Amino acid sequence: MPKLFEPLSLARGRAMSNRFMLAPLTNSQSHADGTISDDEFDWLTYQAEGGFGLVMTCAAHVQRVGQGFPGQLGVFSDALLPGLTRLARGIRAQGALSSVQLHHAGIRAPAKLIGGAPRGPPDDAQTGAMALSEVEIEQLIDDFVAAAVRCEKAGFDGVEIHGAHGYILCVGPLDENSCCQLS
Ligand X SMILES: Cc1cc2nc3c(=O)[nH]c(=O)nc-3n(C[C@H](O)[C@H](O)[C@H](O)COP(=O)(O)O)c2cc1C
Among 16, 48, 58, 148, binds ligand X (CB under 6 A): 58
Query: Contacts with ligand X: how many residues (CB under 6 A)?
Result: 8
Among 16, 18, 21, 24, binds ligand X (CB under 6 A): 24
Q: 53 near 8, Cβ under 8 Å? A: yes
Map the footprint of ligand X across residues 86-105, applying CB under 6 A.
101
Round to whole Å and give the CA distance between 159 and 102: 7
> Shortest distance, CB of residue 128 to ligand X, whole angstroms?
24
> Shortest distance, CB of residue 23 to ligand X, whole angstroms?
3
* Candidate ranges 19-27, 47-55, 121-129, 169-177; the one touching ligand X (CB under 6 A): 19-27
Which lies closer to ligand X via its Cβ, residue 73 or residue 129? Answer: 73
Map the footprint of ligand X across residues 25-54, applying CB under 6 A.
25-26
Alpha-carbon Rg for the chain, nearest whole angstrom, is 17
List of residues 6+ apart from 149 with CB closer than 8 A: none
Among 23, 125, 135, 179, binds ligand X (CB under 6 A): 23
Strand partners, 60: 102
SS3 sequence, 61-127? ECCHHHCCCCCCCECCCHHHHHHHHHHHHHHHHCCCEEEEEEECCHHHCCHHHHCCCCECCCCECCC
HSE-up of residue 147 (Cα within 13 Å, Cβ side): 27
Q: Is 21 in the site for ligand X (CB under 6 A)?
A: no
AA identity, residue 2? P
Residues forming the site for ligand X (CB under 6 A): 23-26, 58-59, 101, 162
